[in-house]
Amino acid sequence: MRTGKVFAVSMITVCQLMALALWFSATAVLPQLRSEFGIGALQSSLFTSAVLLGFVLGTVTSAILGLADRIEPRRFWAASAMIAATANILILVVPVDGIVVILLRLITGVCMAGIYPIGMKMVATWSRGDTGFLVGLLVGALTIGSAMPHLFAVAVPLDWRYVIMTASVTAYIAAIAILFVHLGGTPGRSPRFDPKMVGKIWSNKPLRHACYGYFGHMWELYAMWGWIGLFLYGAFSDRVMDNPGVWSALSTFAIVGIGAFGSLAGGYYADRIGRTTVTIAAMIVSGACAIVAGGLSDAPIILLIVVCIVWGISVIADSAQFSSCVIELADPHQVGTALTLQNAIGFLIALVSIHLVPVIADQTGWWGAFAMLAVGPVLGTIAMVRLRMMPEAIQLAGGKK
């Protein structure tokens, strides 16, 4: 990469990472909130699911109104980050166990639709035959950004208020910094969402199976990210460890954050050995980890952490490849609608699994709750195996299935 390109892409990635810490900032402090305010399972689930629902609403609204094309991307990104950071920091002045805090999380999610996709749009202006790597880089930023609040919980005094404040401050800084980033050219127009195309898209069998694979992936991903920290906190507390909150936060940061390497590796190998190959392998591994992890709360700590780290890598390694499959299989005029449809349904599915985890955990323990998540990768693997057997699979990754 040229020096200017390296600097610009690096700046966009860092800003993306800093702003996306807002996504899980409240989730990272759930152990403290539950201890201090007695927050129940439903409220705990809403801290994560409200952001996902907001993201769906924001993405669909932005696609229908064409906001990504009407507003200069750096300004759109900066405004979204500013509003999201403000909504996040307002958590400090409202009742944490009330409805207002959930509405603030919803607003944060809506604003994420102006951060994550727009960051990809800005990076794409620098793309010169390396789009796959750059998309993987942004997914890696999403992964580390999602992990950062758990690090904040240790890097700053272990009071949930400082974690929320730190996440908001970093997003404010990113909102200012993004305005000084140079783009590699004029951003292309985003493919528009057209509700009339939904039926045509769904009649495309290979495309439909790529979406099925993504749906299975999403059933597992955000529920795992949202609850792994609380699971580890309980596992460490049961061992009567000193500072279980610190150790669970550090472990969760490592488990979620290391997924960035999985994302980059997934993109690298998918371009070389095939998208279905990588997605199938990743889902087999992550599904196996989901079945095993919840039953290891009393196992040796090193075994528990190793399994969870493998889970953290594999659960995100295939993420970007499902979108790549849609881009390669859809009619060029339907790409925008296909991606919007895929993401909207996928995030709505994630809402269901996020809320199911604590319910099942209360009934069967963490083993049953996490094993339930394995249903997603199992069904997703079946979908991708069927896609691999279709003649249209030759369109993937330049002929590499």
Are 156 and 230 found together in one domain? no
DSSP letter for each residue of 272-290: HH-HHHHHHHHHHHHHHHH
Q: What is the gyration radius of the CA atoms in the chain, in angstroms?
A: 20
Are 105 and 240 found together in one domain? no
**pLDDT, position 127:** 67
**Percent of the chain beyond pLDDT 70?**
93
Are 295 and 320 found together in one domain? yes
**CATH number, domain with residue 360:** 1.20.1250.20
Cα(first)–Cα(last) distance of the chain, in Å?
28
Are 51 and 163 found together in one domain? yes
- pTM beyond 0.85: no
Owning domain of residue 174: 1-184
Are 260 and 234 found together in one domain? yes
Amino acid (one-letter) located at 173: I
Q: Give me the number of domains the chain comprises.
A: 2
Average pLDDT over residues 141-159: 76
Among residues 153, 184, 215, which one ends one of the domains?
184
What single DSSP character describes residue 240?
A: T
C-alpha span between 207 and 25 (Å, rounded): 34
Answer positive or negative: Cα dihedral of 308, 361, 106, 37: negative
Q: Is residue 191 part of a domain?
A: no
Q: Is residue 65 part of a domain?
A: yes
List the structure tokens of 293.
């992890």
Are 100 and 221 found together in one domain? no
What pLDDT band is residue 21 in, cutting at 50, 70 and 90? confident
C-alpha span between 59 and 79 (Å, rounded): 15
Closest CA to 89 of 76, 72, 71, 108: 108
Q: What angle do CA 148, 372, 393 make, to 5 degrees?
A: 80
**pLDDT, position 371:** 96
The yes-or-no verdict on residue 35 having pLDDT over 90 is no
Are 175 and 223 found together in one domain? no
Between 326 and 189, the more confident residue is 326
What pLDDT band is residue 67 in, cutting at 50, 70 and 90? confident
What pLDDT band is residue 344 in, cutting at 50, 70 and 90? confident
Q: What is the mean pLDDT of the chain?
A: 86
Are 81 and 221 found together in one domain? no
